[in-house]
Amino acid sequence: NKIIGLASSGLHSNGYSLARKICLEELNMSVDDNVKEFGCTLGEELLRPTKIYVQPVLNTIRQHKINGLIHNTGGGFLDNVPRILPAGCKAIIDPESWKVPPIFEFLEKNGNVSKEEMYRTFNMGIGMMAIVNDDLVDDVIQQFEALGEQASVIGEIAPIDDDDGKWVSLKGIV
């Protein structure tokens, strides 16, 4: 099985306490401050509406077999992905397979947040994941894209071949 990631529109509902602490307390920023990296004010970036995936997902599951769905909310990759894994399996995710939006890079750098914590707290640009059989990947991606979503293969489900106790492998991070 492959993991198809659907792009997020920003923070969504995850990690606002940490984002507020970094931006408003540690950096002493105002919501009216223009942030070059975002191309807008801090307030506009923080208030960017959460992308809702209901219609694209419903339309896709009507036409294709989806083995599982993960809404990448609070808990990020490290807490949400394991909830869907069958016994004896792990997820291998390649964080280089999608473009991380500037808000996450800004928070990581300016808040001195570890990569592991970033992937535990935030969606890092992937708001929803669909697990599909290898032979359906191209069709499912094409369907999501036809419905206006940015979709790409971000990983795979694989058997656990060692006993390191990790259900999620983020290449180069965890």
What is the pTM (predicted TM-score) of this model? 0.93
Q: pLDDT per residue over 42-93, tens digit each?
A: 999 999 999 999 999 999 999 999 999 999 988 889 999 999 998 889 999 9
Q: Are 97 and 154 in contact (CB under 8 A)?
A: yes
pLDDT band at 164 (very low <50, low <70, confident <90, very high): low
Reply yes or no on whether the pLDDT at 172 is more than 80: no
**pLDDT tens by residue, 126-153:** 999 999 999 999 999 999 999 999 999 9
